[in-house]
């Protein structure tokens, strides 16, 4: 899939905020990798005919990350955290399930997101963004405030495994009889969210989240639950800034078991891209413009990591 001008501009705008870091992603640059498996529930199988929801254990490659584009970011920073889960359904067939700790995205369209990124760029004279212009944007775009408040108000996590990771995008699950159900998914910690004070997180060190996960997995497997939030009539399917009401039905769709921490598998010219549109039969995307822009921008970032030119559109 070729990139358009805005895809290039998004990656450039991220580099203007975080700097250019050879060999690293434009965003979510600092990652911690783990290996495990996923097994779906009977409820998921009833809703969706996709192979990975039929209950058979599936190999999983998992990457946890800080949202920053700085690969040297401190784990105590107030920032979103991300999870990318690559399910290797069978030989040659993969699908990805992504999430971040923000319940909503900051913009409804790629164009609005580009404007936000450009406003976040620091003024060389002050080292800070122009807060007056940022404030004016948030006043004109109140839909962005949910994501902004979620980021700045959340204390650092105790562990990558004690967080909730949301998809702000909707997907249509197709059952065996082609009946469709619109959902958003989340990865949940079975023990609920656990966060720590800023000072304590800072004292634990720059890489404390990786160190904590290594210690946790050395003592035994860790689990995250995949749940589906089912849409009701009138819930927005194409607006990633809108949070669906809490009273919407939730079903447990499966369980991700993390077995071991691993070093990054990205070496010798190989990279792993986590793509929210890497879907297989039984799962369909909404027309959300942000969702459809993500793979193209990831492609730009991936080719820069490879130090290869982006193919033409």
Active-site residue numbers? Answer: 28
Contact 231, 182 (CB under 8 A): yes
Contact 146, 156 (CB under 8 A): no
**Residue 157 gets which letter from DSSP?**
B
C-alpha to C-alpha distance for 80 and 37, rounded to whole angstroms: 24
Contact 217, 261 (CB under 8 A): yes
C-alpha to C-alpha distance for 48 and 251, rounded to whole angstroms: 13
Q: What are phi and psi of 274, to 5 degrees?
A: -100, 115
**Residue 22 gets which letter from DSSP?**
T
Contact 69, 304 (CB under 8 A): no
Q: How many DSSP H helices and E strands does the chain contain?
A: 8, 10
C-alpha to C-alpha distance for 195 and 213, rounded to whole angstroms: 14
Element (H, E) at 291: helix 289-306
Quickly tell me which residue has 């212009």 as its tokens. Answer: 133
C-alpha to C-alpha distance for 139 and 194, rounded to whole angstroms: 32
Task: Give the tokens for residue 83.
Answer: 């999870």
Quickly tell me which residue has 């792993």 as its tokens. Answer: 272
Quickly tell me which residue has 């297989």 as its tokens. Answer: 280
Q: What are phi and psi of 266, to 5 degrees?
A: -90, 100
């Amino acid at each position: 899939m070729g990139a358009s001008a805005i895809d290039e501009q998004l990656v450039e705008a991220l580099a203007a905020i975080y700097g250019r870091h050879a060999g690293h992603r434009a965003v979510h640059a600092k990652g911690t990798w783990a290996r495990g498996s996923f097994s779906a529930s009977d409820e998921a199988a009833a809703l969706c005919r996709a192979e990975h929801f039929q209950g058979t254990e599936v190999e999983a490659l998992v990457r946890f990350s800080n949202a920053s584009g700085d690969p040297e970011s401190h784990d105590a920073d107030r920032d979103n955290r991300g999870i990318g889960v690559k399910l290797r359904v069978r030989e040659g067939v993969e699908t990805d399930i992504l999430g971040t700790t923000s319940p909503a995205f900051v913009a409804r369209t790629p164009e609005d997101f580009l404007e936000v990124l450009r406003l976040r760029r620091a003024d060389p004279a002050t080292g800070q963004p122009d807060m007056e212009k940022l404030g004016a944007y948030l006043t004109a775009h109140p839909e962005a405030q949910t994501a902004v408040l979620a980021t700045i108000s959340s204390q650092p996590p105790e562990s990558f495994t004690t967080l909730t990771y949301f998809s702000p995008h909707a997907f249509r699950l197709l059952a065996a009889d082609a009946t469709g159900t619109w959902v958003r998914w989340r990865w949940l910690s079975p023990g609920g969210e656990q966060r720590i004070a800023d000072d304590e997180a800072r004292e634990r060190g720059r890489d404390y989240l990786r160190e904590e996960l290594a210690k946790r997995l050395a003592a035994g497997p860790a689990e995250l639950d995949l749940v589906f939030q089912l849409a009701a009539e009138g819930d927005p399917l194409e607006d990633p800034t809108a949070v669906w009401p809490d009273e919407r039905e939730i079903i447990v769709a499966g369980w991700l078991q993390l077995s071991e921490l691993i070093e990054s598998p990205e070496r010798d010219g190989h990279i792993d891209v986590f793509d929210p549109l890497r879907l297989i039969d039984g799962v369909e995307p909404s027309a959300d413009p942000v969702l459809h822009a993500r793979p193209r921008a990831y492609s730009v970032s991936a080719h820069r990591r490879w130090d290869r030119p982006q193919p033409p559109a």
